[in-house]
Amino acid sequence: MTMKLYFSPGACSFVPHSLLESAGVAFEPVMVKLHKGEQNEAPFRAVNPRGQVPVLVDGEQTITQIVAIVQYLDARYPQQGFLPQDLLARTRVLETLAWMNNTVHPTFTHVFMPYKFAGTPEAQAELKTFNAKAYAGLLADLEQLAKQAAEKGQAFLGGDRFGPLDAYALTLLRWGGFAQIDPTGFTALWAHVQKVAQLPGVAKAIERERLQLNLYKP
Ligand SMILES: N[C@@H](CCC(=O)N[C@@H](CS)C(=O)NCC(=O)O)C(=O)O
């Protein structure tokens, strides 16, 4: 049975979307329009009661959470080397992936969906401003990771193969534009993201999602 990936254009589901395209496997992409609130409607809630993308459905199994989906895809398509084989290198990639997912990403969610975290317009405005600043700091940390990889002559953030860190970095840097952060200010990261965007699998996911990399409007 063909796998299904529930995704939303520009959302964090870009991570498994670009991994699946890179693996060159047949899957059915199912678009969920978050801006129309489809994640809260019955058909999608029946798939994921938590109302979030990404969701990977493989036969009888429904898998959510990027960190879990990435490990599943890595095990299913070992030839892709999405995660390094070496124990320590793999642990380091998972460490950074978890940080992206549990720290960088939710900081942006406070900017993009402040109504999830505070009730009044004043509190939401404060959350937006405060977290946009914090987000710029976290992108600066990500810039350091891209710089270190480049200095080591490492082609990708997790090693010598394209993987989840590269796809997540692209997504997180792109989101910066919504927070009034100029991506080109992060020189190493911007160069890396542009390079990653040209990989055939990543380019396919970008095309399906119709993504523009630089959303910053001065
Ligand atoms: N920790 C979750 C985060 C998922 C998440 O935040 N998804 C967002 C899109 S980037 C979403 O579906 N938001 C819709 C909503 O919360 O209403 C994961 O790794 O899958």
pTM across the whole model:
0.98
The reported pLDDT for the residue numbered 1 is 83
Q: Is 38 in the pocket of ligand 1 (CB under 6 A)?
A: no
Same topology between domain 3-80 and domain 87-202: no
Segment 152-164 shows an average pLDDT of 97
Closest atom, ligand 1, to C-alpha of 64: 20
With beta carbons less than 8 A apart as the criterion, state whether 168 and 100 touch: yes
pLDDT tens-digit map of 41-97: 999 999 999 999 999 999 999 999 999 999 999 999 999 999 999 999 999 999 999
Which of the listed residues 12, 15, 19, 97 should we mutate to test ligand 1's pocket, taking the one with most ligand atoms within 8 A of CB?
12
Cα of 65 vs centre of ligand 1, distance in Å, is 8
The whole-number average pLDDT for the span 182-188 is 98
Average pLDDT, stretch 147-176? Answer: 97
Distance (Å, rounded) from C-alpha 153 to C-alpha 160? 9
Structure tokens given for 71: 């490990």
Tokens 């402040």 label which residue? 114
Q: Would you say the CB of residue 51 lies under 6 angstroms from ligand 1?
A: yes
pLDDT at 33 over 90: yes
Ligand 1 and 15: CB distance under 6 A = no
- Sketch the domain layout of the chain as residue ranges: 3-80, 87-202
Is it true that domain 3-80 has CATH number 3.40.30.10?
yes
Contact 162, 156 (CB under 8 A): yes
Categorize the per-residue pLDDT at 31 as very low, low, confident or very high, splitting at 50, 70 and 90.
very high
Query: What percent of the chain clears pLDDT 70, i.e. is strictly above it?
Result: 100
CATH code given to domain 87-202: 1.20.1050.10
* Average pLDDT score over residue span 154-172: 98
Q: Give, using CA atoms, the residue closest to atom 9 of ligand 1.
A: 11
Instruction: Map residue 89 onto helix, strand or coil.
Output: helix
Residue 158 Cα to ligand 1 midpoint, Å, equals 23
- Taking only the tens place, the pLDDT of each residue in 126-135 is 999 999 999 9
Q: What ligand 1 atom has the least distance to the C-alpha of 116?
A: 16
Q: Environment class of residue 211 by beta-carbon count within 10 Å: exposed (0-12), middle (13-18) or buried (19+)?
A: middle
- Better-predicted residue by pLDDT, 138 or 1: 138
